[in-house]
Amino acid sequence: MLASPVPMHIPDGFLTALVALAFWAATAVVVTYALKRVNADLGERQVPLMGVLAACIFAGQMLNFNVAAGTSGHLVGAALATIMLGPWASILIMTCVIAVQGLIFQDGGLLAMGANIFNMGIVATAVAYAVFRFVMRLAGGRAAGQSVGAFIAAWASIVVTALAVGLQLAISGTSPANLAIPTMASVHMLIGVGEGLITVGALSFLRATRRDLLEQSAAPVKGGRGILAAGLLVALLLAVVSPLASADPDGLEWFAQQQRFTGLEAKSPIHIIPDYKLPGIGNEAAATIVSGIVGAVIVFGVAGVTAYTRRSRKKAPVH
């Protein structure tokens, strides 16, 4: 059945203003530090990859997949970005994706955007990085260990992110902690399996076709233009199939429906491309496809410009 993507992030109204502002402040500090670290650490290979990976993650997040009990999940992508480009670049990629989703597509609240970036960008990245490094040490760097580590890191990033969301809901008084935290975690344990499989599949494909992209090196990537073209093509293909996404609510929306606090959601004051349906296109599937393509291009541009700007600053001579 054709369906547009369902809401994926915390909307305004689920968190109190004080909690939302506190996470905005924490997020601003971490993202600012990430910009400084990327400015110092960014190699030539990261410049073309940041935009491509951001576009693919944006398009991949539009594809909700079914899990048990009429619930759906979707790719977050922080683990994939962390394994490919490192934690600081991952935080910036996820920030670009989530910011575009909130500002252009009204997916997630503006006041709650700090919490959404904190959860899916910072927490998910930190957990994925720590778990992947730990497993790789145990595996001695073997390829099988990379696949196992990627799966566990992706799964753990989803579960811990869900715990963070549950805690935020509890602090805000939206749902009791003894209900919000375990329920969010249990639902996302299933969703995390999908995240793990997608992450391992993507890394396995790259290992078989472009192993050099998985190497943490400052050397320029060979065939950079080809990578840009191929990556954008993948993102656009994901956008084209986005109307086939599951119509079931995602983990957070399902929990909100079960606990009957969906009425707390505050509508966004801006309406650019709400609900991933470009205004003026009568066919719902076509409107979703075009919206996905537009979003992927915007995210690619924002993340690419961010990477290029940071790299240019690094290369600029000091007088």
Token representation of residue 61: 């997040």
Tens digit of pLDDT for each residue in 205-237? Answer: 888 877 766 765 544 555 556 666 777 788 888
Q: What's the pLDDT at 16?
A: 96
| Predicted model pTM | 0.87
Q: What's the pLDDT at 249?
A: 67
Q: What's the pLDDT at 134?
A: 94
Between these two residues, 44 and 23, which has the higher pLDDT value?
Answer: 23
In a domain, 1, yes or no: no
In a domain, 144, yes or no: yes
Q: What's the pLDDT at 3?
A: 39
In a domain, 272, yes or no: yes
Count of alpha carbons within 13 angstroms of residue 60, beta-carbon side = 22
Q: What's the pLDDT at 268?
A: 80
Judge whether residue 47 has pLDDT over 80. no
Judge whether residue 7 has pLDDT over 70. no
Between these two residues, 211 and 158, which has the higher pLDDT value?
Answer: 158
Which residue is it, tokens 């004051």?
Answer: 269
CA distance 259 to 145: 40
Q: What's the pLDDT at 70?
A: 67
For 190, the domain range is 17-31+41-315
Between these two residues, 244 and 163, which has the higher pLDDT value?
Answer: 163
Judge whether residue 41 has pLDDT over 90. no
In a domain, 36, yes or no: no
Average pLDDT over residues 39-67: 81
In a domain, 92, yes or no: yes
Q: What's the pLDDT at 266?
A: 84
Tens digit of pLDDT for each residue in 109-118? Answer: 899 999 999 9
Q: What's the pLDDT at 2?
A: 35
Q: What's the pLDDT at 133?
A: 94
In a domain, 8, yes or no: no
Q: What's the pLDDT at 282?
A: 85
Average pLDDT over residues 251-258: 77
The number of distinct structural domains making up the chain is: 1
Q: What's the pLDDT at 128?
A: 97
Tens digit of pLDDT for each residue in 58-91? Answer: 998 888 777 766 677 778 999 999 999 999 999 9
Judge whether residue 33 has pLDDT over 90. yes
In a domain, 6, yes or no: no
In a domain, 9, yes or no: no
Output the domain CATH number for residue 111.
1.10.1760.20
Judge whether residue 319 has pLDDT over 60. no
